[in-house]
Amino acid sequence: MTGAVTLSDMTASDSGLSLTRRALLQAGALLALPAGAVAAPAGFDQWRDGFRARALAKGVSDTTYTRVMGRIEPDMSVFRQMQKQPEFNEQIWQYVNRRASDWRIIAGKEALRKNEALFSRIEQDFGVERGTLLALWGVESAYGDPLVQQNHMRPVFPSLAALAWNEPRRRSYWETELINALKIVDKGWGTPDEMRGSWAGAMGHTQWMPEVWLNVGMDYDRDGRVSPFGKPDDALGSSARFLVNRGKYHRGEHWGYEVRAPGASTSSSRTYAAWASAGVVRADGKAFPQPNASAQMWVPVAGGPAFLLGPNFYAVRSYNPSMNYALAICHLGDRILGAPPFIQPFPGSERILTLAEVQEVQTRLTKAGFDTGGTDGRVGNDTMKAVKDYQTKMGLLRADGYGGLKVLARLRQGS
């Protein structure tokens, strides 16, 4: 679904969505639905009563079905959410800048400080670098910010029930996820009230869909149940397990490196040693630490930075099938751990704004009558919409919603 629906597209807190965007992509969720699908048509009660037998046949107890589904009403607003996802047409450097923001780097360092022992344990158990998990956590839920959960999440059962009943293109997928969610209640891992998430049903610190919670989740904090909420142990440990089991993450390997690659072919995978023999060097001048590991060349934009990507980049991509997403996660993880920005800039790009500069953009926009949803330095849909509306009003070319240096300079000029 990225670059489409994320919590960052929904809120000023700029979070993310789920481990199973691939399934949501296949759901065709962004295609327009019939106009009548937004109003609740008759027939839900009959569907709910008929669905009981299917759920019970899949192992859901009758008690749980009655408890969760007995009086449930479908959340029909999910269909509006599907149709009205914002389109900002970000260039890759804008996409990466928004996610590897100054706020996320600062907050990520603090999240690591508070959870050092947890990340050390995960690295020992799964071999997944702490930077990668910190970045996933930061993008998906702003490091578990309770305000994201409180203000922007909804009960998942009414949403999933609406989708399982009346989403025409991928109904079987939503039916399965509804049953998975019912099984979670059956296991005592979560209550219907606790299970709050995005309109698509993604929940918790790292935005699990029910299938992931049920089949990949683990009781990493040993409290007797698996939960993506509360302490981050289960969410982060299980996300590491996801990267290893489903993403084929390689213990001890870095995701890849920015390189200088004059005239190098991008068509094949070869060892770092072979790339070095072909004249490819790390942009920072350092040696490749594992010359016998394999990597592929990727140049996202002609004239911009080039990268050698190892298997762990594609493990991150298994979390969300987007090259831009994986690059943003990997880069943010490096930045949290002290690495510099990319050495070769993207053509036409701007540096990432500092936290104070983002807050200044938000403050100036707010004073000018454009609602940014707050001035906390976190850029989400509210701020992007305010920027786009400002760009449109001022007649700025390419009203793309990106609040960077050019927008800040114009706001200062206007004052």
119/10: higher pLDDT: 119
Q: Point out the domain boundary residue: 309, 324, 346.
A: 309
| Beta-sheet strands, E only, within 66-180 | 154-155
How long is the chain? 415
pLDDT recorded at residue 87: 58
Q: Which residues pair with 154 in a beta bridge?
A: 197
Query: Does residue 119 fall inside a structural domain?
Result: no
- For 117-168, the pLDDT digits (tens) are 999 999 999 999 999 999 999 999 999 998 887 777 999 999 999 999 999 8
Query: Does residue 109 fall inside a structural domain?
Result: no
- For 84-113, the pLDDT digits (tens) are 655 567 899 999 999 999 999 999 999 999
pLDDT recorded at residue 414: 83
pLDDT at residue 305 above 50? Answer: yes
Single-letter amino acid, residue 252: G
Rounded CA separation 383/388 (Å): 9
Query: Does residue 54 fall inside a structural domain?
Result: yes
pLDDT at residue 63 above 50? Answer: yes
Query: Does residue 31 fall inside a structural domain?
Result: yes
- For 208-237, the pLDDT digits (tens) are 999 999 999 999 999 999 999 999 999 999
Query: Does residue 90 fall inside a structural domain?
Result: no
- 42 shares a domain with 22: yes
Least confident of 66-70, 281-285, 379-383: 379-383
Domains of the chain: total: 3
Tell me the whole-structure pTM to 2 decimals: 0.89
CA distances from 300 to 303, 347, 362 (A): 9, 11, 30
pLDDT at residue 41 above 70? Answer: no
- 405 shares a domain with 363: yes
pLDDT recorded at residue 100: 97
Instruction: Identify the DSSP state of 352.
Output: P
The parent domain of residue 210 ranges over 7-85+151-245
- 163 shares a domain with 56: yes
Closest-CA residue to 74 (of 158, 17, 141, 148):
158
- For 237-248, the pLDDT digits (tens) are 999 999 999 999
